[in-house]
């Protein structure tokens, strides 16, 4: 089960250009072996993507060019802006119907 999870997640990382972050080690048979730390890192990346952190920002976090706090703060700001925008649209529609 873990192997399937890793295979799917690694395919996603390759397509997202995040593979250099989690590279594992190449064995003599050319298979890659991933440590527990690699698996934890893959799970962290998956969680960051699930909450909407952009791929580029995930790279910056792992390259120590952006803190997790900064990335989360940016994401929260985006959510607040979208929520406010949605609220304004709903309010405008309601006012238009009442006129």
Give this prediction's pTM: 0.64
Residue linked to tokens 């390259």: 63
> What does the pLDDT read at residue 93?
67
Burial class (CB in 10 A: 0-12, 13-18, 19+), 22: buried
Contacts of 69 (CB under 8 A, 6+ apart): none
> Which is more confidently placed, 61 or 16?
61
pLDDT digits (tens, 9 = 90+) for 5-57: 666 666 666 555 555 666 677 788 887 777 888 778 888 888 898 899 988 89
């Amino acid at each position: 089960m873990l192997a399937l999870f890793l295979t799917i997640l690694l395919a996603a990382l390759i397509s997202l250009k995040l593979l250099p972050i989690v590279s594992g080690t190449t064995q003599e048979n050319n298979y890659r072996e991933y440590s527990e730390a690699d698996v934890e890192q893959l799970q962290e990346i998956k969680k960051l993507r699930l909450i909407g952190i952009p791929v580029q920002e995930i790279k910056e976090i792992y390259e120590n060019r952006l803190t997790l706090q900064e990335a989360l703060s940016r994401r929260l700001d985006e959510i607040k802006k979208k929520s406010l925008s949605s609220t304004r649209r709903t309010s405008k529609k309601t006012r238009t119907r009442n006129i």
